[in-house]
Amino acid sequence: MSKRKTVIHSIKRIVKSPYMLLLPALLFYLLFWLLPVVMSIFQSFTTVDGTPTLQNFINMFNESRFMRALINTLVFAVVSLTLQFFLAILLALLINKKFKGSRLFLFFMIIPMALPQAAVGILWNTGLTEAGWLNSLFHVTGLQTVLESLGVLDGRTLWTNVTGTRAVMTIVLIDTWTVLPSVMIIILAGLQNFNRELSEAAQVFGASRGRAVKDIVIPIIKPSIVTALLLRLIAGLQVWLISVMIFGYGRVPYLLERVVYYMSVVARTDANYRMAVSYSVFTLFVILTVAFLFVRLTSGKTEWRKADE
């Protein structure tokens, strides 16, 4: 009888444990993420009848747009991450000064972040036509003349017809316009907790404002910066919707765009399904590898430098 009471008491203690609050999230994670991932990995290494094989990945590597999709994905992730990092730092430092009208400026800055991806695609798709608002803006501001004199443009450009690097850079700029506020807000949150006296003390002892930002401000808010950039890096490796809405499938391929293409556009055959699964597993591998390398590169200890170095 005492053993039974002990068991009941243990069960009650487990039920009342605060860890039980994590159980719904854990079950959701297992059912809707881990289980599909495990099944996809299994299917990517097997044939329809369950025989182990590498032919699915061989077919993926031999697919005509695979290499271009891989290069586009990596280039997009690196370029967009670099551009968004520097712009977010500058904007966050500017807003953190709390100048007159800074709150209104912040309000207008975060508007693109509230738009869904589909709405962003529609908005820019109308602007990238030959008679769209982007070319009109270039003409009204005189930027069209400047770009033509530099040889960048030759008259009004039908941006939806550009290919290769120009197409990737177009998507980079659109993505930056959309997600820059989210990166900026995370960095701005880190700046809100920063003790300004540290930076002011460095300037009193002879450090320039730029040196104080580089050697004091950025190292202290490094956790916020790393978090923001890691989230953007992972999201950048999953780009596809905006590119498809502007350029369609296949013209500017990305890894995740290939997954959607073989799952939703072409005929639903076993071969196409296995191709989509292989692309999804490979994309997951790329994301985990790049994220791991990024964390390793940014996990070094911060070294305080003397102002007179």
pLDDT of amino acid 304: 41
Model confidence pLDDT, tens digit, residues 229-283: 999 999 999 999 999 999 999 999 999 999 999 999 998 899 999 999 999 999 9
Q: Can you tell me the distance from the alpha carbon of 188 to that of 213, in angstroms, rounded to the nearest whole number?
A: 14
Q: Taking a C-beta distance cutoff of 8 angstroms, is the pair 67, 308 a contact?
A: no
Residue 144: CB atoms within 10 Å: 18
pLDDT of amino acid 35: 87
3-state secondary structure of 52: strand
Residues 6+ apart with CB under 8 A from 31: none
Q: Which of 81, 70, 171, 88 is nearest to 124 (CA)?
A: 171
Residues 6+ apart with CB under 8 A from 162: 170
Model confidence pLDDT, tens digit, residues 110-155: 889 888 888 898 899 888 888 888 888 888 898 888 888 888 777 7
Beta strand spans in the chain (E): none
Give the CA count within 13 Å in the CB-facing half-sphere of 74.
9
Domain extent listing, the chain:
70-298
Report the share of the chain in percent with pLDDT over 70: 95
3-state secondary structure of 46: strand
pLDDT of amino acid 300: 63
Q: Can you tell me the distance from the alpha carbon of 45 to that of 278, in angstroms, rounded to the nearest whole number?
A: 8
Q: Which of 257, 245, 236 is nearest to 76 (CA)?
A: 236
pTM summary value: 0.85
Write down the mean pLDDT value for the chain: 87
Q: Which of 30, 14, 242 is nearest to 116 (CA)?
A: 242
Q: Which fold has domain 70-298?
A: MetI-like fold (1.10.3720)
